[in-house]
């Protein structure tokens, strides 16, 4: 595990030297000079970089079309169709009931995006990027779900204003204004719908946690905001000695209980309904997991939740927090823009850097804060904190 140095927090927004600013301004002017582009393209040493950058800018501009090509392929189930055997345009036209002339545009676009590929002159098969999509139902569920976000982003400036209230915020009942009467009650369908989506998309996050952190020395786990219990189910199978507890809102817990029963896990997983903004957490766990929870809430709610977790743990207990996190300055970008805007549209929470989360964990009382390295940080990054063994 890698220790992050909290004392560096003050440096993250440190002052840039005046000299560096001057140099950057000069370089920016050079790059944007009209003659530079032509010169860089004609120079064999710089041509590749200019071509690469130009393609990147073009892809940025065209990204919204790419997204809709992807959505159309998913809705028409084209990946499933070509996976069984490569198909001609005519065959796909019959199967999808879309006129061949229009479908051809989609197929050609999907080929350029590597979602499909040519198999011989007239047939199409799965492309290198289509393959993971068809094999993971969670990705397809998210692609369909992103259509709500797409509608919210039609005016990307309007969404920046405080009074924004769009499609995405309606999707997440617990993100709505709690002052509205019974905002969280009588919405069983909405709870079931988002819980289903979370369960479908949680597989990748669970794989990241299980391949990076060992629960063998723990005895009792409490998964706060555990949803339908997919993570607890995976732990039950991997670690036969663990006692497992799941805490979530009552509407979600009704479904989690049914699922645990239907999977024969009722004796392994105790489902505890409650609201962490009002209720105390169940005691007795020596490790609490918080998977894709903190980013949904403002700092005040997260801090109060972390304090409740701290209180619920015995001395020496562990908190494991896993979710997508923002890059620290200087790190390679990994999907931040998507999560920043997703949470903005949701109307609650924000994407935090590991350092920001560790500061909240530290304020709640946790020590020995560590970042657990994992293979695919775009799905989630993992932080661990402990309640000191010597806590009174």
Ligand X SMILES: C[S@@+](CC[C@H](N)C(=O)[O-])C[C@H]1O[C@@H](n2cnc3c(N)ncnc32)[C@H](O)[C@@H]1O
Coil vs helix vs strand at 69: helix
Shortest-Cβ-distance residue relative to ligand X: 225
Which residue from 82, 235, 287, 293 is in contact with ligand X, where contact means CB under 6 A?
293
Is residue 21 close enough to count as binding ligand X by CB under 6 A? no
Only segment of 56-64, 211-219, 225-233, 349-357 that touches ligand X (CB under 6 A): 225-233
Which residue from 152, 208, 248, 356 is in contact with ligand X, where contact means CB under 6 A?
248
Residue 258 CB, shortest distance to ligand X, in Å, is 15
Is residue 226 close enough to count as binding ligand X by CB under 6 A? yes
Residue 322 CB, shortest distance to ligand X, in Å, is 8
Cα–chain-centroid distance for residue 52? 28
The torsion angles phi and psi of 219, rounded to 5 degrees, stand at -115, -45
CA dist., res. 318 & res. 368, Å (int): 10
Q: Which two tokens stand for residue 374?
A: 């994992």
CA dist., res. 95 & res. 69, Å (int): 18
Is residue 198 close enough to count as binding ligand X by CB under 6 A? yes
Is residue 296 close enough to count as binding ligand X by CB under 6 A? yes
Which residue from 292, 381, 386, 387 is in contact with ligand X, where contact means CB under 6 A?
292
Is residue 208 close enough to count as binding ligand X by CB under 6 A? no
C-beta closer to ligand X: residue 125 or 282: 282
Is residue 225 close enough to count as binding ligand X by CB under 6 A? yes
Is residue 252 close enough to count as binding ligand X by CB under 6 A? yes
Only segment of 197-205, 209-217, 280-288, 330-338 that touches ligand X (CB under 6 A): 197-205
C-beta closer to ligand X: residue 69 or 252: 252
User: DSSP letter string over 78-103?
Assistant: HHHHHHHS-EEHHHHHHHHT--HHHH
Q: Which two tokens stand for residue 45?
A: 């040493």
Q: Which two tokens stand for residue 216?
A: 């063998």
Query: Can you name the residues that pair with 382 across neighbouring β-strands?
Result: 322, 372
Give the CA angle between residues 183, 188, 194 to the nearest 5°: 90
Which residue from 70, 73, 110, 249 is in contact with ligand X, where contact means CB under 6 A?
249
E strands present in 138-248: 220-224, 243-248
Residue 379 CB, shortest distance to ligand X, in Å, is 10
C-beta closer to ligand X: residue 115 or 246: 246
Please answer whether residues 282 and 272 qualify as being in contact, where contact means their C-beta atoms are separated by less than 8 angstroms.
yes
CA dist., res. 260 & res. 278, Å (int): 25
What mask of x and - would describe binding to ligand X in positions 272 to 291, judged by CB under 6 A? ---xxx-------------x
Only segment of 99-107, 155-163, 248-256, 349-357 that touches ligand X (CB under 6 A): 248-256
Please answer whether residues 110 and 79 qualify as being in contact, where contact means their C-beta atoms are separated by less than 8 angstroms.
no
Please answer whether residues 349 and 169 qualify as being in contact, where contact means their C-beta atoms are separated by less than 8 angstroms.
no
Please answer whether residues 150 and 107 qualify as being in contact, where contact means their C-beta atoms are separated by less than 8 angstroms.
no
What mask of x and - would describe binding to ligand X in positions 153 to 182, judged by CB under 6 A? ---------------------x--------
- Total of chain residues touching ligand X, rule CB under 6 A: 18
Which residue from 86, 127, 130, 227 is in contact with ligand X, where contact means CB under 6 A?
227
Please give the order of strands across the beta sheet that includes 2-3: 2-3, 367-372, 381-386, 318-323, 287-291, 220-224, 243-248, 269-273
C-beta closer to ligand X: residue 178 or 389: 178
Residue 279 CB, shortest distance to ligand X, in Å, is 8
C-beta closer to ligand X: residue 69 or 285: 285
User: Residue 335 to residues 75, 136, 234, 324: CA-CA distances in angstroms?
Assistant: 24, 19, 26, 9
Query: Can you name the residues that pair with 87 across neighbouring β-strands?
Result: 124
C-beta closer to ligand X: residue 152 or 296: 296
Give contact residues for ligand X (rule: CB under 6 A): 174, 195, 198, 202, 205, 225-227, 248-249, 252, 275-277, 291-293, 296
């Amino acid at each position: 595990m890698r220790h992050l140095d909290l004392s560096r927090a003050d440096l993250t927004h440190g002052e840039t030297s005046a000299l560096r600013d001057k140099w950057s301004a000069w370089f920016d002017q050079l790059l944007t000079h009209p003659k530079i582009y032509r010169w860089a393209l004609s120079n064999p040493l710089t041509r590749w970089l200019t071509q690469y950058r130009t393609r990147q800018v073009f892809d940025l501009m065209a990204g919204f079309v790419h997204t809709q090509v992807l959505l159309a392929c998913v809705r028409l189930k084209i990946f499933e169709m070509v996976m069984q055997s490569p198909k001609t345009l005519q065959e796909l036209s019959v199967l999808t009931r879309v006129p061949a002339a229009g479908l051809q545009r989609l197929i050609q676009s999907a080929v350029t995006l590597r979602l499909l590929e040519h198999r011989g002159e007239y047939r199409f098969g799965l492309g290198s990027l289509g393959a993971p999509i068809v094999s993971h139902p969670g990705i397809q569920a998210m692609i369909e779900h992103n259509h709500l976000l797409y509608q919210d982003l039609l005016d990307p400036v309007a969404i920046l204003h405080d009074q924004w209230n769009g499609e995405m915020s309606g999707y997440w009942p617990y993100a709505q204004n709690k002052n509205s009467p019974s905002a969280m009650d009588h919405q069983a369908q909405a709870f079931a719908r988002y819980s289903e989506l979370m369960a479908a998309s949680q597989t990748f996050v669970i794989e990241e946690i299980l391949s990076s952190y060992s629960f063998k020395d723990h005895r009792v786990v409490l998964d706060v905001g555990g949803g339908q219990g997919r993570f607890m189910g995976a732990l039950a199978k991997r670690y036969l000695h663990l006692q497992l507890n799941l805490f979530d809102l009552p509407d979600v817990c009704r479904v989690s209980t049914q699922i645990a029963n239907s999977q024969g896990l009722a004796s392994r997983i105790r489902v505890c309904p409650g609201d962490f903004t009002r209720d105390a957490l169940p005691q007795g766990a020596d490790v609490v997991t918080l998977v894709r929870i903190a980013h949904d809430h403002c700092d005040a709610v997260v801090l109060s939740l972390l304090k409740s977790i701290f209180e619920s743990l015995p001395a020496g207990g562990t908190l494991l927090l896993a979710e997508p996190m923002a890059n620290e300055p200087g790190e390679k970008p990994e999907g931040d823009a998507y999560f920043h805007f997703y949470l903005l549209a949701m109307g609650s929470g924000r994407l935090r850097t590991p350092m920001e989360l560790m500061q909240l964990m530290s304020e709640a009382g946790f020590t020995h804060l560590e970042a657990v390295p994992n293979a695919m940080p775009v799905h989630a990054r993992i932080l661990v904190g402990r309640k000191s063994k010597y806590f009174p």
